[in-house]
C-alpha cells in the first residue's frame, strides 16, 4: 500500500479580502520546494502576503507582501 505525500497548503491573503474587493486563494502541493517557489512568485507579482503551511496548519514559511514600485 503506497502512502500519499502530505499536502502543503499555499494561502494568498489580501487585507481587503473581506471588504468585497479582494480574494483569498488556496493552492495544495505535495512538494515543499515547489510550494515555496510558487509562494515567492505570487508574493512578488501580486504584492500580497503568502503563507505556506502543512496540512495540520503548521506554518512552514511566510513570505511578506512585496513592495510594488
Burial class (CB in 10 A: 0-12, 13-18, 19+), 39: buried
Mean pLDDT of the chain: 79
- Write down the pTM of the prediction: 0.70
Q: What pLDDT, on a 0 to 100 scale, did the predictor assign at position 7?
A: 84
Residue 68 lies in a domain: no
Query: End-to-end alpha-carbon separation of the chain, Å?
Result: 51
Q: What DSSP designation does 30 have?
A: S
**Percent of the chain beyond pLDDT 70?**
74
Residue 1 lies in a domain: no
Domain count, the chain: 1
Residue 32 lies in a domain: yes
Q: What is the mean pLDDT of residues 12-37?
A: 75
Q: What pLDDT, on a 0 to 100 scale, did the predictor assign at position 19?
A: 60
Residue 26 lies in a domain: yes
Q: What pLDDT, on a 0 to 100 scale, did the predictor assign at position 54?
A: 85
Q: What pLDDT, on a 0 to 100 scale, did the predictor assign at position 2?
A: 60
CA distance 69 to 65: 12
CA distance 61 to 48: 14
Q: Write out the residue range of the structural domain in which residue 35 sits.
A: 8-63
Amino acid at each position: 500500500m503506497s502512502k500519499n505525500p502530505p499536502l502543503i497548503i499555499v494561502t494568498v491573503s489580501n487585507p481587503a479580502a473581506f471588504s468585497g474587493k479582494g480574494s483569498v486563494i488556496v493552492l495544495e502541493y505535495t512538494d515543499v520546494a515547489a510550494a515555496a517557489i510558487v509562494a515567492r512568485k505570487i508574493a512578488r507579482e501580486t504584492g500580497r502576503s503568502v503563507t505556506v503551511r502543512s496540512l495540520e496548519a503548521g506554518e512552514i514559511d511566510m513570505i511578506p507582501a512585496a513592495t510594488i514600485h
